Every structure is written in structure tokens, then in C-alpha cells.
Amino acid sequence: MDTPAETKKIIFSGIQPSGTLTLGNYIGALRNFKLLEDEYQCIYCVVDMHAITVRQDPAALRRRCLELAAIYIASGLDPKKNVIYCQSHVSAHAELAWILNCFTYMGELQRMTQFKDKAQKHADNINAGLFTYPTLMAADILLYQTDLVPIGADQKQHLELTRDIAQRFNGVYGDVFTVPEGYFGKVGSRIMSLQDPTRKMSKSDPEDTFISLLDPPDAIRRKVRRAVTDSEADIRFDPANKPGVSNLLSIIAALTGQSVEEAAAELRGQGYGKLKDRVSECVIETLAPLQSEHRRLMADKAYLQGVLTENAEIANRMALRTLRKVQRKVGFAERLK
């Protein structure tokens, strides 16, 4: 694949290899990424440098990096049209992050709600990387002159900080960075935790609260059977009063193309057991082809490594254009290569 054409707007998305993606990730983002590859230059980064802010098992982390790359491809992304690579394979991420640290204020980082949340969860390992994580995220985005960043509500604060850093740097040195915008795309269902349907489904929560994209059918059925509902036995979409039932109806609607009202009408009077059976059927049927392709890809590690190597070279060429410009602007000694 050649270095991307300059005429296309650039989309950057980074996902941590800290656990298998969830059904919520698939419905909210992953399945829609395929629709972007012809209109945009899409860069999908396995952010393994971010992952080590929490202690990792090295062998498991290496495996999960490959697994995440395989999930991207198994979900339909063409590695010849999209740049899929590992963050640690492009050293410009770390180099730009250090420079941007010098343009980021302590007070800004202290206000980051994600730092507060992670510090509570990992009180025995509140490291400097955890604190400066948002500056590395800003480097990830700004390095590629990114126009658009797919984000959820929980990431708006980090994108705002990225914009502030870019504008601050540009204010000193001129038009160096593209100031990115959030990309919200097609509005889809927000899939919630199976055990606490007032909270978004998250791979960092206990395993019984989410459906993993690689869960086998028996695990999917078990998790859905245990999903929180209520004592009314009335199947209707009412997020305020029936969040658990509404969440299950949202999953059906998202995977079948029905409206939540149509899904509710189809199951009305049949009880929550039937509702949960229907959810399980939809999820298993949707994930079966992705899981099959993922198994095939994971059995061909040489191919996956080749994709990551080739795409890292493309990402590196793109990144160095920005990094070298930034280094010149801040006054680093000129380098010949």
C-alpha cells in the first residue's frame, strides 16, 4: 500500500489491547469502520504503549496485540486500504509525546476524570505514565495531522485537551498541527452493562457484565441469561424505568435492523426468558462469521505480523513528516536523516 493520498481527510482511532473488544465496541464503532475506508484515510492503532500504564503480562500483551489486529481485519477492514499497526512500532509517538508534555499544564492533566478513575482502580500503581496518558493520546492524534477522531462521550475531555495543546503549539510556532474534530458518524445504540444497565458496557469491567466479541455461544447464552431485568415481566422499551429490558431490546434492534418498538412488539407477552433467548440468538448469529475469520487469521501469525510490519512502515513515513517539522520548530539540532 502506498503512503495515503493527501486529498482524503484522515481519521485516527486507537484501541488498547487490554482485553477483547465487547459487543458494545462492535455495535458502536467497529462495524461502522468498514463504511469509512473509501471516503477517508483511516488509521487504526493498537495502543500498546497506553496499555502498560497498568501492569501487564508481557506474553499476554503480545498475544492481545495480534488478536486486536485480527479483530480489525475480521470485522471487514481491508489492511490494504486502512493503516493497522502497533503504536510501539512507530517511535515518533513517544518522541512527540515528550515535546507535547512541555506544552501541557499540570492542572489540565489533574482535571482528567479518567486519571482519577484509573488511580482509584490501581491505587498501588499511580505512575507518571497514567498521569501523562492524555498527552501521549494527543501525540497519537496530532502526529498524523488527523482531521477526525471517532469518540464516545467518555473521550470528549481527552479530545478537548488535544485541541487545546494543538492550538497552543500553533499559537507559538504557526500552523503546525491540524486541530482535530470529533467524529460521531451514524448514531447507533449505546450498549450498556448486562449487570448495571445504567453504565456503558466496558471491557475493563468484570467479565459477566459484557459480551466479548470472541465469547463462544455457551458463554454468550450464560451471560445474557444472567442479565439484569426487573420484576414486571413486561417487555417494553423504557430506559428510564426499565433499563435492563431496554438494553436487551437495543441489542436486538442494533443487530437485526428492527426498531426497538418492533423488537418489543414481536416479544410482547412472551416473558423475559424468550427475550433473552432472542438476544442470544442475534448475538451468536452476528458474531459467528467474525469469530470464524478471527480463528483463521490467528492461525496465520506470519500474515498478521506482515500486516503490522508493512502498515507500521506506512505510519512511520506519515508520522516523521510531522515529527521533523515539530523538531525544527522547537529548535532541535538539525538532523541529516
Task: At 188, list the grid cell.
Answer: 447507533
Looking at 156, 203, 242, 337, which residue is catalytic?
203
Grouping H, G, I as helix, E, B as strand and the rest as coil, residue 286 is helix
Please pick, among 34, 80, 81, 118, the residue that the annotation labels catalytic: 118
Does the annotation count 121 as an active-site position? no
Ranges of beta strands (E only) in the chain are 10-15, 41-46, 82-86, 148-150, 181-183
Query: Catalytic site residue 203?
Result: yes
CA-CA-CA-CA dihedral for 137, 138, 144, 150, to nearest 10 = 70
Among the listed residues 290, 327, 315, the one whose alpha carbon sits nearest the alpha carbon of residue 13: 315
Give SS3 for 73. Answer: helix
Instruction: For residue 319, give the nearest of 4, 37, 80 by alpha carbon.
Output: 4
Cite the DSSP H helix spans in 143-200.
156-173
Contact indicator for 81, 36 with CB cutoff of 8 Å: no
* 200 counts as catalytic: yes
Residue partners of 165: CB distance under 8 A and separation at least 6: 100, 103, 104, 135, 138, 142
Closest CA to 311 of 137, 79, 146, 47: 79
The single residue of 81, 156, 200, 301 carrying the catalytic annotation is 200
224 is written with which cell numbers? Answer: 445474557
3-state secondary structure of 44: strand
Q: Which sequence positions are flagged as catalytic?
A: 118, 200, 203
